[in-house]
Amino acid sequence: MDLTFAAIIGGRMRNMTAMFYFLHRVAEC
């Protein structure tokens, strides 16, 4: 597996998780 590919996938997953967490916090208020 290409390291750069894994890094891009990992970054995207982290971004999606952060976005989901942010939206969840906004919906809570």
pLDDT of residue 3: 87
What secondary structure letter does DSSP report for 1?
A: -
Question: Which of 22, 17, 26, 14 shows the shortest CA–CA distance to 6?
Answer: 14
- pTM, whole model, 2 decimals? 0.50
Convert the pLDDT of each residue in 1-29 to its tens digit: 688 998 998 899 998 999 999 999 998 87
Separation between Cα atoms, residue 29 and residue 27, nearest integer Å: 6
